C-alpha cells in the first residue's frame, strides 16, 4: 500500500529521513514521516513569518468584519472557526489569515510560524468533509464545520492562531505536547488553558501532525503584520520559507 501510494501521488522519498518504504512499520508511520535534516530551512530573521507546512495557498488576505474568505462567494466567521468564543474571535476581527492546503503527497507535520507562547488549545468537534479545492469551492463554511484543533499563541506580533482542520480520511490530529487530540471524536468542545510561560515554541519547532491530508489556517490579530507579495492562491509553499513579516 505504501509503495502504491508513493507511485500514485509522486511522493519524493529522497526528502524523507527514512527513504526506504519497506522500513515503515505502518502506513501512518510512513504518512507522518520526518524530513531528512537540511532539506528545509527556516527563515532566521526574527520579524519574518515562516510557512508552517508544505502545501498550497488556498486563500489569504485580511479578516474583514470577522469574516474569512473560503473561496469565491464563500466565507465564514473567525468566531465559528474558533469554536464560537466571541472574546477570542474579537482579537482576530481585523487581522490577517492564510489558508494552506496539504495534499496527500505533502509532508504532514505542522511547525511554528513565529516565536510564541501557547496560551490555549481548543478541540472543536465537527464533520469530516474533504478539503480538496473542488470541495472547498462547493461546501459552504467548510472549515468552520469540519473537526479542528485551534492553538492560540502570544507573540511579539500579537495573538496568533494555528488551526489544524481535519478532513475526509483524517485518522487523527496530534500535538507534540498533548499527543492525540482526535479521535476519539465527540460532540462537546474541549479547551485547554496554559497560564504559565513554560509552553514556549521557537519558530520552526514542530507543533503537531495530520494522519491524512488536510488544511492549516494561520491567523494573526495584529495589523502590524503583512503577507509577502508572492503569496497567491494556488502557489506552492514549503515549510520554513518566509510568507509574511511583522512590522
- Binned at pLDDT 50, 70 and 90, residue 146 comes out as confident
CB atoms under 10 Å from CB of 247, counted, come to 10
- Binned at pLDDT 50, 70 and 90, residue 102 comes out as very high
Q: State the pLDDT at residue 196.
A: 87
Indicate which residue of 58, 130, 214, 222 is catalytic.
214
d(Cα 57, Cα 77) in Å, to the nearest integer? Answer: 19
Enclosing H/E stretch for 109 = strand 109-111
Enclosing H/E stretch for 89 = helix 86-91
List CB contacts of 127: < 8 A, sequence separation 6 or more: 145, 146, 147
Indicate which residue of 111, 123, 130, 159 is catalytic.
111
Least confident of 97-101, 198-202, 207-211: 207-211
d(Cα 107, Cα 102) in Å, to the nearest integer? Answer: 8
Q: Residues 60, 61, 66, CA angle at the centre, nearest 5°?
A: 110
Domain ranges of the chain: 1-39, 40-246
Average per-residue pLDDT in the chain? Answer: 91
CA 150 to chain centre: 9
- Is there a catalytic annotation at residue 75? no
> How far apart are the two ends of the chain, measured CA to CA in Å?
47
Written as nine digits, the cell of 240 is: 520554513
Indicate which residue of 54, 75, 85, 106 is catalytic.
54
Query: Percent of the chain at pLDDT above 90?
Result: 70
- Is there a catalytic annotation at residue 106? no
- The overall pTM is greater than 0.85: yes
DSSP structure string for 196-245: SS--EE-TT-EEEEESS--EEEEEE--TTEEE-TT--TT-EE-TTSEEEE
- Is there a catalytic annotation at residue 154? no
Do 99 and 61 form a contact (C-beta atoms < 8 A)? no
Q: State the pLDDT at residue 170.
A: 58
148 backbone dihedrals φ, ψ, rounded to 5°: -160, 160
Query: Percent of the chain at pLDDT above 70?
Result: 96
Q: Which carries the bigger pLDDT value, residue 153 or residue 132?
A: 153
- Binned at pLDDT 50, 70 and 90, residue 20 comes out as very high
Amino acid at each position: 500500500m505504501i509503495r502504491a501510494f508513493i507511485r500514485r501521488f509522486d511522493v519524493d522519498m529522497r526528502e524523507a529521513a527514512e527513504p526506504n518504504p519497506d522500513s515503515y512499520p505502518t502506513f501512518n508511520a510512513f504518512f507522518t514521516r520526518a524530513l531528512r535534516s537540511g532539506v528545509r530551512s527556516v527563515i532566521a530573521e526574527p520579524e519574518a513569518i515562516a510557512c508552517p507546512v508544505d502545501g498550497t495557498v488556498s486563500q489569504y488576505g485580511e479578516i474583514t468584519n470577522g469574516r474569512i474568505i473560503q473561496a469565491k462567494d464563500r466565507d465564514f466567521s473567525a468566531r465559528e472557526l474558533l469554536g464560537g468564543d466571541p472574546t477570542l474571535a474579537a482579537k482576530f476581527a481585523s487581522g490577517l489569515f492564510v489558508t494552506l492546503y496539504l495534499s496527500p503527497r505533502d509532508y504532514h507535520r505542522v511547525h511554528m510560524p513565529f516565536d510564541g507562547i501557547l496560551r490555549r488549545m481548543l478541540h472543536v468537534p465537527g464533520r469530516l468533509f474533504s478539503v480538496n479545492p473542488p470541495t472547498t469551492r462547493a461546501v459552504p463554511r467548510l472549515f468552520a464545520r469540519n473537526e479542528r484543533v485551534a492553538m492560540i499563541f502570544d507573540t511579539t506580533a500579537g495573538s496568533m492562531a494555528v488551526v489544524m482542520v481535519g478532513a475526509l480520511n483524517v485518522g487523527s490530529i496530534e500535538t507534540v505536547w498533548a499527543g492525540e487530540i482526535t479521535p476519539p471524536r465527540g460532540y462537546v468542545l474541549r479547551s485547554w488553558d496554559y497560564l504559565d510561560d513554560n509552553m514556549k515554541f521557537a519558530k520552526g519547532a514542530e507543533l503537531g501532525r495530520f494522519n491524512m491530508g488536510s488544511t492549516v489556517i494561520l491567523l494573526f490579530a495584529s495589523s502590524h503584520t503583512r503577507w509577502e507579495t508572492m503569496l497567491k492562491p494556488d502557489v506552492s509553499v514549503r515549510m520554513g520559507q518566509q510568507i509574511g513579516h511583522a512590522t
